[in-house]
Structure 1
């Protein structure tokens, strides 16, 4: 979980902690000995996009702090798995990823919810549709222990090292990843997805015990509920009980998304069903349709029209995934579609990642792209999004420039390193170290590199590649010195290019970047050298 599950999946694939396992060898016993030391650390914030134009913050936790959380989950995996299996409603049960997957834990996509929900609600004449408001940011870390051991027991025994209440320790370890804050858990790292599912699955059981007789069938995907009921009255009763249970854990119903529906109403938007059908046709699943350039352009234009009509970037993401499925980057028709991609990134920021992945795939295949057009478009957009502090757009666009070896002038580098965000600045450092940025950026890091603040990634990257020779300070300094001295790799630009150079590998991963989800509401356990990741 530490190797593939630390960075949010919404970051470009160059951000990787696979090398941490190697780099930590030799100090794991020392690290574990400090597990209960009060060493709260900050995390790197990541201002991301959502399909509807709103924003969501993700976080990249300090690797040593996160090690403890991942280690706890690994050691207690049976408890987690039993809770997940026991849930009467969950269709988001995590499963272990395969070695070929990009994430260590896989949660079924939201688009699978409607199919599973339809099966589970059965003959229900009425459906209560609701979700938990601001789920991850609202989780009270003490409720981790409440959920595992019961609220009354957990409130009586709050000792971090309690032998009777082992999840008190997890509460403490989670808080250490976020400057000791008790309100909310980070969005992005896989361990925190498991923690949130653990709490939600526990509430499922409590709800079933309380009002299960009223429920015909139900499905929950992370924080989204579809509850099948006999009557509208039963829906109100169940909603009231769910609201009460959530409040006990300091969580709340999202009233703006709560509806009582007829059992005949479609659970999935009709536009999404129709567009996915057309995507399958374009893939050649329907013998009546071939993927001529006119068909492709028509499909893109329909997706753009749907996006404008329903005020969501989701149709455009479906279209870009379809371009990956038909492997447009290998075809001559690319030159016709490429200008659409260049225009899309101006108006659909939530789609910048998919567009970048498609372009980089074509470059990895040694195919021609409109270098001049992409350079001009990306330079303009980087400066625009830097002004708004939009990390997602800036990081992905910078990654595109670096992978394609497009021109990055000094003035653009100066603007990038002026950003306070460590994801952006560390990627600049990696670009220079990799020979993709001509001159060394004028980035002063000081005579002592903090190991526990929000710049941990920048400082560790700078030391590991020789950009800075300063020593580390702070409570994690010993661990960070060890990692830097072993030249830990946290950003590897070339690795993705090497992987997607293979013709059989898709541009867009099937296990990250929100693949095949309607929207974005929502993660190998081994023991080599005693490290469980």
Structure 2
């Protein structure tokens, strides 16, 4: 096989990975899939006109997930036409991109294409490496300043993508030249913008391609920071947009932060004052909560396990309250799922899990999937679970909390819980394909009692709908024939892009997919024993 053929095959493999395991947000319930799309991606990339895609402006669906307290983050379900083009550019030019990000000596995020069959397409942060380098900063300097970038992904100026690849000065000087206009850096800028209706501020949170783009820009910020902060590479560590910088004995954090601010300013970014602080000598030192959660030992005696569970969760809740910006309670719930409980104590654990899901919305998706996975094989307090789901559906729908609502609907589907139509009033008005597809799935399984009005969602089943944030339900519900009223399919079958998806039998929702086995206690226990930080998010706050 020739060198060119080998490179071509490698690029095709990268494209399929980016679209199979790096496209849709990992936070979606299991039925949402891009496997079919990835399988045909190479064919689509070879057929679709890149110039036409750059002109095909679409809106991504916003998928609201909880962060901490009342704070939330909006993930994006980018239109597949635009996301394929972004992924294709990165896959084709990966060697150049990897060389750019590999220059960083401070980053503990080294984006590479994962060789594992599970998980995301791109490898994640080395949190153990962060911990080691943090200890080194304390031993070498005694103090360090910790900060991050304010709303990193939403603040990125898309034109700065080209700056990060070619250099800001070069782009400013040559942006009218044909060489620049035809360069992949310029095409990547345009491709990202087209997938968000031409917006030049912000990149979508969710796709792995955005993680790569963000790292490109962060590395360039480092290059500028080295000009303003002496010995920067030897005393800094960064993971995504979080940064720790060691402080010399007589150095102030303000002096270091000033240099970092100057570097960020070059890319129209700002430091997050709310998450900036100095740690080490002269500062209060509090223990890490993760150690307690990871090392807690539950007695094997059934009569004492309830007391142990009470103690564990009471301590975990206290630690979560002391660390409000971290998902301590989610870690605790995952750890508890790995406990070797006697069967008579399972209901007690489930009640604590339900309370944690009420107290912290970040816990709900895990609780839903875990309890759905063990349903039927483990004795559970079904009446209490049913009451919780039915109470929370209208509450989350009224608040527009699409992530929690999606998992509640999925949970109801998994345990065959019938949902009254009266609980769905606010659900039916949400601009969310994720919620819409799960609702249609429940309806087709006769798990909704009473009449529902699907006219709002079906109103997007047209050519304009395929460009809107409701593209997924416009395509998917029509393809499946799930609309309660007859629907013409011509708007898809004659479309310049979506017709190819239709003809290739691409589907983005697989109703056969169930709660994943990866949430079983044995898997969780092994992960914690290996020191993995389950549930950590690499998305910048």
- Residues 1:260 and 1:493: Cα distance change in structure 2 (over 3 Å): same
Distance (Å, rounded) in 2 between the aligned partners of 1:515 and 1:521:
17
Within-5 A mapping of 1:295-306: 295-306=308-319
Say if 1:144 and 1:167, in contact at 8 Å, map to a contact too: yes
* 1:448 pairs with one of 452, 459, 462: 462
- Aligned partner of 2:97 in structure 1 is 80
Partner Cα separation in structure 1 for residue 537 and residue 124 of structure 2? 14
Question: Which aligned pairs between 1:56-75 and structure 2 lie closer than 5 A?
Answer: 56-75=73-92
**2:536 equivalent to 1:517:** yes
In the alignment, the residues of structure 2 paired with residue 420 and residue 68 of structure 1 have an alpha-carbon distance, to the nearest angstrom, of: 25
**8 Å Cα contact 1:472-1:481 kept in structure 2:** no
From 295, 298, 301, the equivalent of 1:280 is 295
Q: 1:344 to 1:516 in 2, by over 3 A?
A: closer
From 460, 473, 482, give the equivalent of 1:467: 482
2:428 is the counterpart of 1:422: no
Query: What is the CA distance between 1:97 and its match in structure 2?
Result: 2.2
> Residue 261 of structure 2 corresponds to which residue in structure 1?
243
* Greater fraction helix: 2
Q: Give the secondary structure class of the aligned counterpart of 2:365.
A: helix
Q: What residue in structure 2 maps to residue 323 of structure 1? A: 336
The alpha-carbon distance between structure 1 residues 358 and 291, as it changes in their structure 2 partners (threshold 3 A), is farther
* Match of residue 150, structure 1, among 147, 160, 167: 167
Contact 1:48 1:391 in 2 (8 A): yes
Any conservation in 2 of the 1:124–1:216 contact (CA below 8 Å)?
no
1:404 paired with 2:448, answer no
Other-structure match for 1:43: 60
In structure 2, the residue matched to 1:193 is: 211
1:47 and 1:55 in contact (8 A); partners too: yes
Name the structure 1 match of 2:357.
Answer: 345
Distance 1:509 1:17 in 2: 27
Q: Tell me if 1:20 matches 2:34.
A: no
- Given the superposition, is the C-alpha separation of residues 217 and 462 from structure 1 closer, same or farther in structure 2, using an over 3 Å criterion? same
Name the counterpart of 1:526. none
Contact 1:3 1:20 in 2 (8 A): yes
Write the distance in 2 (CA, Å) between the matches of 1:136 and 1:475.
35
Q: CA deviation at 1:299?
A: 0.6
Tell me which residue corresponds to 1:531: none
Supply the RMSD in Å over aligned alpha carbons.
Answer: 3.5
The separation in 2 between residues aligned to 1:142 and 1:383, in whole angstroms, is: 41
Cα deviation code 1:2-26 (max 9, x no counterpart): 1111222222233221221235575
Aligned ranges for residues 106-505 of structure 1 at < 5 Å? 106-108=123-125, 113-119=130-136, 123-158=140-175, 162=180, 165-213=183-231, 216-233=234-251, 235-263=253-281, 270-276=287-293, 279-282=294-297, 292-311=305-324, 314-326=327-339, 331-363=343-375, 366-433=377-444, 437=448, 441-444=452-455, 445-446=458-459, 448-449=462-463, 450-468=465-483, 469-471=487-489, 473=491, 477-497=495-515, 499=517, 505=523
**Equivalent residue of 1:114, what SS?**
helix
Greater RCO (Cα-Cα under 8 Å, separation 6 or more): 1
In structure 1, C-alpha distance between the alignment counterparts of 2:475 and 2:90, rounded to whole Å = 25
TM-score, scaled to structure 2: 0.84
Separation in 2 of the partners of 1:518 and 1:15? 20
Q: Tell me the secondary structure at the aligned position of residue 58 of structure 1.
A: strand
TM-score, normalised via structure 1 length: 0.86
Worse-matched range after superposition: 112-121 or 482-491: 112-121
Farther off after superposition, 344-353 or 226-235: 226-235
Whether contact under 8 Å (1:375, 1:407) holds in the other structure is: no
Quick check: 2:144–2:279 contact (8 Å CA) kept in 1?
Answer: yes
Q: Determine the C-alpha separation between the residues in 1 that align with 2:203 and 2:119.
A: 22
CA contact (8 A) 1:452 1:475 kept: no
| Mapped contact 2:108–2:237 kept (Cα < 8 A) | yes
Partners of 1:20 and 1:214 in 2: how far apart? Answer: 43
CA contact (8 A) 1:131 1:225 kept: yes
Distance 1:232 1:178 in 2: 47
How many residue pairs end up in the alignment?
A: 513
- Preserved CA contact (<8 Å) 1:42 1:178: yes
Offset at 1:438? Answer: 6.8
Q: Give the 3 Å change call, closer, same or farther, for CA 33–221 of structure 1 in structure 2.
A: closer
